[in-house]
Amino acid sequence: MSLLNEVWQAVKAIGTGMATVHKRVYEEAPTEFYPYVELDLPPVSVQSLALVENEDGTERCIVCLQCERACPSQVISIERHRNPEGKGFLIDRFDIDLVNCMYCSACVEACPVSSIVTIQDFELSTYDLHTLKADIDFLHEQARRSKKWYSPKLGVEIRTEDGRIEKAPPEMQPGGLAELLKPAAEEEES
Amino acid sequence: MSSTIGLEPVLGRSDEMIVNMGPQHPATHGVLRVVIGLEGERITRAVPHIGYLHRNHEKIEESRTYFQVVPFTDRMDYVSGTQNELPVVLAVEDLAGIEVPERAKMIRTMFFELFRIASHLVWMGTAMLDLGAITPFLYTFWDREIILGIVERTAGARMLPNYYTFGGVRRDLHPHFFKDVAEFLDHLEKRMPDYEHLVLENPIVHARTVGVGVLSKERAVARGVSGPVLRASGVAYDVRKAFPYDAYPEVEFEIPTSDAGDTYARFWVRFQEIYQSVKILRQLLEKTPKTGPFKGRAPARLKISGERYRAVENSRGELGVYVVGDGGDKPYRIKHRGAAFSNLQVIPDLFIGAKFSDAIAILSSLDPVFGEIDR
Amino acid sequence: MDLRIKRERLFDEDVYTVHPDDYRALCEQLKKDGFDYPRAISSLDMGYGLRVVLQLTRMSDLAKVEVRTDVSYDVAAVDSVTDLWPGVEWHEREAYDLMGISFRGHPDLRRLLLEEEWDLHPLQKRYDTGGYLIPDWRPADWPDPAPWQEPAPSQEDAAPEGGEGE
C-alpha cells in the first residue's frame, strides 16, 4: 500500500513538474540575442561615464574638483591651472580609472554643471586594461557617441539628429510623472 | 600554533574520517569551507571556516566620508541590493537629525520589499539547485530579472544601486514605476502556485527536508540567529514589527512563523514572506503619492558625533550597523552586524548528527551570502 | 553586588559602562534579568584603549541594552560570555581577529576572517588602511574620570531610569 502510494506520489510530482515546464515553453523568452539585438537601456542606467561638451564644442566642466572629492574609490584625478584670460580654471589632465570605478555615480551627483554624466555604453570589454584608464579625450568621445545621458541637475538629455542637446521628454525623466499627470488634472478640471 | 583546519583527529578513533567541504565545492553557496568529521555517513564534528571573501569593509569605511560609505555597503549582501544601505542611512539620519519626507520613506520601503522578493527568488533557485533540481533556478532568475529591470529604470543599476541617501533617495521614480510594479506583482502571483508545486509540494523536497536539521526555539535565540531561520523555529521576532522603521508602521502584514524548526519550515517561511512582501507592496502602491518630495534636506558635509545602533530586517535577518562618529565627516568606526554571519554560526549545531547529504540541504536553508559574512 | 558601573540612556538603549573586572558579573546579572538574544559584539579603538560593546535584546519585551567595557592596550583581555550566549562566539572571534581583544575562557579563540599566521589587528587606529604602522601614532592618556565612573557633578541623578534621549 505504501509502495503504491509512493509510486503514485512520484507520478503525480513528475506530472506537475512536466505541466509547469510545458506552460513555460510557450512564454516569451527573457533572454536576448545580444550582439544582434540592441539593448534598450533606461536613460538613468549607469554603464559608463562621459564628459559632455556644450553644443558649440566648449567645455562644460569648470574644474571645481567636486567629483574628485566625492569619489569613494578615488579613481578620478584632475590637474588644473588658472585661466590666463578671464576667470575660472582650465583642465590640464582629467583621468578616470574605469577599471577601479564602481559606478556608484557619486561624481555625477556632485557635479554642479552636469558636465560628468552617466551613459549607457556598456561595451567597454577589452583585452588590455590600460585602455580603460580614461583620459579627457576618451571621455569626450564617449559623450559624442552617446544619444542620451543623465545627470541629476539637468535630468535626461538627448542629442538630436542635427547635433543639438535637448531635454528629454518627461516619459524618460525620473520624476516625470509630475509633468505627465499635470495636463490630465487640468483636463479634469475643465 | 594550532592546526589551521581546527579539527584534530582523535587518537584511537580510526573510524572517523575528516573531510573538507569547500571552499570551492560546487554544492556550497559561495566560498564556505567546513571541515567535517564523518563516521560512515553521519557527521560527528563540523568546524566552519570563513573569510575567503574578506575585504575589511569596516577599515575602508573609516577612511571615507559618510556619503562615500553608502556605496560600499552595497557590496556586502550583493543579492539584496539596497537593503544593505538602509541601516547606515538610518543611523546617520538619527545622529544628524535629518528629516525624511513620508513619500521618500514609502519609496525606500517599496525598494526594500522588491529586493526581498528578488533575494528570496535567488534563494529558491539556488536551494533547489543544491537539492539537485535545475529548472526552478532558471524560472526564479527569469522573475528576478523583471525586478532588477524595474530597479534599474529608477535607481540606475541592477544589483548594487547606491540608491538610498541621507534624507531620502537619490532620484525620483521612473514614470512607469507604479505600472511596472503592479504588473510584476500580478505576474508573480500567477507564478507562485508553480513555485509551490515545484518546491513546497515536491515529494523529493519533503523527503530531504522534513525533520532534517531541527533548531530548537531556545537554541535559536541563544545562538543569535534572526530572520527566516529564527521565525522557522517559532520566534515571531521581526525587526520590521519590533523596531519599525521607514513606512512599515503604516502597512499591515503578518509575521509567518512555524514551530517545526526544521529545514522544511525554513523553506516554508521564506515562501510566506514573499506573499507578505507582495501584500506590503500592494498597499504601498496605493498609499504612495505619485508626485512629491523624494529627498529631505541634508547638509552637503555631514559632521557627526555620537553613536547609534540601527537594524533592519533584510532578507536574511537582522542586519545591523553600529556607527560611531567623532565629530568629523568620516566615521570613527562602523561595525556591521551581518544577518547571515550570525545565522551561519549554527552550522555545528545543525550539522552534527545529520547525514552528509543533509548538510547541503541544511546549508541551503540558511541562505548564506558570503559578501556579507566575510565583509 | 557592588559594580563599578555608569548607567546612561541613548536613544532606545540602556547603556552600561563597566569596569573590565566587573564585566562578567554584570553579564551574568543581565542574563538572569532575561536578556536572551545576543545581537552583536562590537569593538572600538578609543585611542587610549580598546572597548568591547556587547549588545543584547530581551525577546519578551524587546528591551535593548548595551554593555561597554574599556581595556588598555597592554592587557587587552576580558572574560568571554560565550557560555551565557553561544551566539557571540563568532563575534568575539571577530573582535579578537580585527581588534586584538582576547576573551578569557572562549572555547575556540582563533582568527575568524584573517590568516592565522598574520600578527597584526587591522582595525586598531595605529594601522592605516593599507595595514602599515602610522609613524607618529601614540596612545592617548586614559580619561580622568574613568569611563565607568559617573561624572562628578550630579552623582545621584546621572542614571535616569525613564530615558531622555528618545
Query: What are the cell numbers at A129?
Result: 586594461
Contact check, Cβ <8 Å, B153/A42: yes
| Pairing of the two strands A155-159 and A165-167 | antiparallel
For residues C131 and A128, give the distance between their C-alpha atoms in angstroms, rounded to a whole number.
30
Identify the pLDDT of residue B35. Answer: 86
Q: Is residue C54 part of a domain?
A: yes
Radius of gyration of chain C (CA): 17
Among candidates B369, B358, B353, which has minimal Cα distance to B207? B358
How far, in Å, are B72, B97, B301, B324, C127 from residue B305 at the CA level?
A: 21, 11, 13, 7, 22
Alpha helices in chain B (DSSP H): 57-62, 66-74, 85-96, 102-131, 135-155, 177-195, 203-209, 217-222, 228-231, 239-242, 263-287, 339-344, 347-351, 356-366, 370-374
Contact call for residues C144 and C151 (beta carbons, < 8 A): no
Q: Which domain holds residue C68?
A: 1-114
Q: Is residue C88 part of a domain?
A: yes
Task: Read off the CATH number of the domain in which C82 is found.
Answer: 3.30.460.80
Identify the pLDDT of residue C115. Answer: 81
pLDDT digits (tens, 9 = 90+) for B14-24: 777 888 887 77
Q: Is residue C28 part of a domain?
A: yes
For residues A13 and A3, give the distance between their C-alpha atoms in angstroms, rounded to a whole number.
15
Residue B256 has pLDDT above 60, yes or no: yes
For residues B151 and B158, give the distance between their C-alpha atoms in angstroms, rounded to a whole number.
6
ipTM above 0.95, yes or no: no
CA angle A163, A164, A167 (to 5 degrees): 135
pLDDT digits (tens, 9 = 90+) for B108-151: 999 999 999 999 999 998 888 888 888 888 888 888 888 998 99
Identify the pLDDT of residue C113. Answer: 85
Between these two residues, B312 and A83, which has the higher pLDDT value? B312
Instruction: List, in order, residues 6 or more apart from C93 with CB less than 8 Å away.
Output: C106, C108, C109, C110, C111, C112
Residue B206 has pLDDT above 80, yes or no: yes
How far, in Å, are A53, A145, C21 from residue A163 at the CA level?
A: 12, 11, 75
Domain extents in chain B: 57-339
Residue B170 has pLDDT above 70, yes or no: yes
**Residue A67: CB atoms within 10 Å:** 24
Alpha helices in chain C (DSSP H): 23-32, 89-99
Collapsed DSSP state (helix, strand, coil) of residue A92 = strand
Q: Average the pLDDT over B270-283 and give the result.
A: 91
pLDDT digits (tens, 9 = 90+) for A35-45: 888 878 888 88
Q: Is residue C110 part of a domain?
A: yes
Contact check, Cβ <8 Å, A177/B201: no
For residues C3 and B137, give the distance between their C-alpha atoms in angstroms, rounded to a whole number.
56
Task: For residue A180, list chain B residues with Cβ-Cβ distance below 8 A.
Answer: 175
Q: Residues of B313-348 as b/e, b for ≥16 C-beta within 10 angstroms? A: bbbbbbbbbbbbbeeeebbbbbbbbbbbbbbbbbbe
Identify the pLDDT of residue B24. Answer: 73
Task: For residue A174, list chain B residues with Cβ-Cβ distance below 8 A.
Answer: 154, 171-174
Q: Is residue C165 part of a domain?
A: no
pLDDT 10s per residue in chain C (166 long)?
A: 577 778 788 888 888 888 888 888 888 888 888 888 888 898 888 888 888 999 898 888 888 899 988 888 888 888 888 888 888 889 988 888 888 888 888 888 888 888 878 888 888 888 888 778 888 888 888 877 777 777 666 545 444 444 443 3
How far, in Å, are B10, B356, C10, C54 from residue C44 at the CA level?
A: 38, 40, 17, 11
**Total of domains in chain C:** 1
Number of residue pairs across A and B with CB atoms under 8 Å?
93
For residues B91 and B321, give the distance between their C-alpha atoms in angstroms, rounded to a whole number.
8
Among candidates A91, A182, A110, which has minimal Cα distance to A153? A110
Q: Quick check: B204 contacting A, CB < 8 Å?
A: yes
Collapsed DSSP state (helix, strand, coil) of residue B183 = helix
- Spatial strand order of the sheet with B305-314 comes to B305-314, B317-326, B331-337
For residues A100 and C83, give the distance between their C-alpha atoms in angstroms, rounded to a whole number.
44
Q: Quick check: C112 contacting B, CB < 8 Å?
A: yes
Contact call for residues A149 and A51 (beta carbons, < 8 A): no
Query: Dihedral of the CA atoms A154, A157, A162, A163 (nearest 10)?
Result: 70
Query: What are the cell numbers at C70?
Result: 574599556
Contact call for residues A139 and A76 (beta carbons, < 8 A): no
Which residue among B56, B318, B324 sits closest to C39, beta carbon to beta carbon? B318
Identify the pLDDT of residue B117. Answer: 92
Residue B39 has pLDDT above 70, yes or no: yes
**Residue A105: CB atoms within 10 Å:** 27
Q: Is residue C69 part of a domain?
A: yes
| Pairing of the two strands B317-326 and B331-337 | antiparallel
User: To the nearest whole number, what is the mean pLDDT of chain B?
Assistant: 86
Contact call for residues B171 and A175 (beta carbons, < 8 A): yes
Which secondary structure element, helix H or strand E, spans residue A145, and what is its range? helix A136-145
Q: Is residue C36 part of a domain?
A: yes
Phi then psi dihedrals of residue C126, to 5 deg: -75, -10
Which secondary structure element, helix H or strand E, spans residue A65, and what is its range? none
Sign of CA dihedral B296, B297, B302, B304: negative
Collapsed DSSP state (helix, strand, coil) of residue A74 = coil
Residue A80 has pLDDT above 80, yes or no: yes
Residue B361 has pLDDT above 70, yes or no: yes
Class of domain B57-339: mainly alpha
Which secondary structure element, helix H or strand E, spans residue A116, and what is its range? strand A116-119
Q: Is residue C29 part of a domain?
A: yes
Identify the pLDDT of residue B278. Answer: 92
For residues B51 and C112, give the distance between their C-alpha atoms in angstroms, rounded to a whole number.
7
CA angle B29, B35, B37 (to 5 degrees): 125
Between these two residues, A76 and A30, which has the higher pLDDT value? A76
Q: Quick check: C25 contacting B, CB < 8 Å?
A: no
Which residue among B72, B135, B162 sits closest to A21, beta carbon to beta carbon? B135
Among candidates B175, B167, B181, B148, which has minimal Cα distance to B82? B148
Between these two residues, B15 and B348, which has the higher pLDDT value? B348
* Closest-CA distance of chain B to residue A47, Å: 8
Contact check, Cβ <8 Å, B342/C62: no
pLDDT band at A79 (very low <50, low <70, confident <90, very high): confident
Among candidates B311, B300, B298, B306, which has minimal Cα distance to B338? B311
* Closest-CA distance of chain C to residue B337, Å: 6
Contact check, Cβ <8 Å, A106/B71: yes
